[in-house]
């Protein structure tokens, strides 16, 4: 193994130097390659593939080098993380506006929508309370959602992020619509 290693050591060194930005680590990596090759020589299928096998070990050792390296500074222990839910306050403020906006809808759509969305009543129970068929209740809730969305889009500009609505700004309105 030593004679074969001497034949390939210079080429492997050049291979490692082109892939590692730390000059001091090149010799360490070459040493690791030699140790791994020596201890796993029994896994080599044929002598003809020794060079390719050594390059594969060198490649894997380089990858291990980069995996274990920490390219960042440790953060101080007393560092406080920012609140992860940045849009929570905006959603809470917006939720206070929902009731009055739902009240602006006709009673035909406002009542089923309020029951379904604000009170969490099942659509079957809505149908029973309002004397409608299940499909009629579902239809009114769905149409109420559409009309409610149209009303919200007419009254507010929304900023939407990964967490949903992160901010909103009421539109200045010259119409008779209450926002």
pLDDT digits (tens, 9 = 90+) for 93-148: 666 767 788 888 899 999 998 888 878 889 999 999 999 999 999 999 999 999 98
What mean pLDDT is predicted for residues 45-74?
Answer: 82
pTM of this structure: 0.44
Q: Which fold has domain 88-170?
A: Arc Repressor Mutant, subunit A (1.10.10)
* Dihedral angle, C-alpha 75, 79, 85, 91, nearest 10 °: -140
b/e burial code for range 39-53 (CB count within 10 A of at least 16 → b): eeeeeeeeeeebeeb
For residue 45, what are its two tokens? Answer: 């299928």
Give Cα 15 to chain centroid, integer Å.
Answer: 37
Give the domain ranges of the chain.
2-68, 88-170
Q: Are the C-beta atoms of residues 8 and 51 closer than 8 Å to each other?
A: yes
Over residues 27-34, mean pLDDT: 90
Helix (H, G, I), strand (E, B) or coil at 43: helix
pLDDT digits (tens, 9 = 90+) for 168-179: 777 776 555 566
> Which pLDDT score, from 0 to 100, does residue 141 have?
93
pLDDT of residue 68: 83
Q: From the options 3.40.50.300, 3.40.50.1370, 3.30.2010.10, 1.10.1740.10, give the CATH code of 2-68.
A: 1.10.1740.10
- The dihedral built from the CA positions of residue 23, 27, 29 and 33, taken in this order, carries a sign that is positive
pLDDT for the residue 50: 82
Residue 7: predicted pLDDT: 79
Q: How far apart are CA 89 and CA 78, in angstroms?
A: 26
């Amino acid at each position: 193994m030593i004679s074969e290693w001497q034949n390939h050591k210079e080429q492997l060194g050049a291979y490692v130097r082109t892939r590692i930005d730390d000059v001091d680590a090149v010799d360490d990596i070459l040493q690791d390659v030699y140790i791994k090759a020596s201890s796993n020589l029994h896994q080599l299928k044929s002598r003809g593939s020794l060079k390719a096998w050594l390059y594969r070990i060198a490649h894997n050792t380089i990858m291990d080098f980069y995996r274990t390296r920490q390219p960042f500074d440790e953060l101080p222990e007393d560092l406080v993380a920012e609140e992860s839910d940045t849009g929570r306050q905006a959603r809470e403020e917006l939720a206070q506006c929902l009731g009055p906006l739902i009240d602006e809808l006709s009673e035909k759509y406002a009542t089923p929508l309020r029951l379904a969305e604000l009170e969490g009543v099942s659509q079957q129970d809505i149908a029973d309370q309002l004397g409608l068929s299940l499909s009629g209740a579902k239809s009114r809730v769905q149409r109420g959602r559409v009309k409610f969305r149209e009303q919200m889009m007419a009254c507010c500009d929304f900023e939407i992020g990964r967490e949903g609505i992160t901010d909103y700004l009421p539109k200045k309105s010259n119409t008779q619509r209450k926002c």
